[in-house]
Amino acid sequence: MYIPPHFDEPRTEVLHELIRQHPFGTLVTHGADGLDANHLPFELAPEGAIGTLRAHVARANPVWRELTDGAEVLVIFRAGDAYISPNWYPSKHEAHRQVPTWNYVVAHAHGRVTIRDDERFVRGLVARLTRTHEATQPVPWKMGDSAPEFIDGLLEKIVGLEIEITRLAGKSKLSQNKELRDLRHAGEVLKAQGEHAIGDAMLACAADRPAGA
């Protein structure tokens, strides 16, 4: 991923929080049949130098058979994106030297995968994912709500993946290279249109910018 210095987000703790808040990632692999991409919910665990990702795939999905332990993979996490019109920059109406762009916040987790065809592993993973994502429900669903034999049968149909993160790269493209008034006004327009994720992020960038910068 190309990252100009003004869009770089190198802080591990910030990228970890992005993954926790947006855990539905795109797993990119390269097997015998070439490139493949699978869209999966991930768990971020603290193990390893910069974290470990865990997920599961259907046993019928060939991706886990095409990978070997230790193979390099990439997981992409997105925290939002939004189109930016040049008309939202006050400076455009003075100098007419702005063009459309697209703002976004992403994290790329590079790592080495281990196949975990292990009932205990997938049961624990599914239980933790369930607790995490059901926590906001008025009456959280839990695995114990279903008959044990039903859950056991489903667990037999999935395979676990564990990815030791070896490198994290983050990019927050939020018009930081624009004048403060342009950055702030474009963020306000986005929020007014209901694009709160990127709008709020742009306004936070504006608030953090030193006076006169």
Has residue 73 been placed in a domain? yes
CATH number of the domain to which 34 belongs: 2.30.110.10
Q: In this structure, are residues 74 and 40 in contact, taking their beta carbons and an 8 Å threshold?
A: no
pLDDT digit string, tens, across residues 169-213: 999 999 999 999 999 999 999 999 999 999 999 999 999 887 656
Indicate the number of domains in the chain. 1
- Asked whether residue 196 is assigned to any structural domain, the reply reads no
Helix (H, G, I), strand (E, B) or coil at 187: helix
User: 44 - beta bridge partners?
Assistant: 53
**CA-CA distances (angstroms) from residue 77 to 152, 186, 206?**
30, 24, 24
Q: Is the pLDDT of residue 97 over 80?
A: no
Give 59's pLDDT tier (boundaries 50, 70, 90): very high
Domain that holds residue 94: 5-178
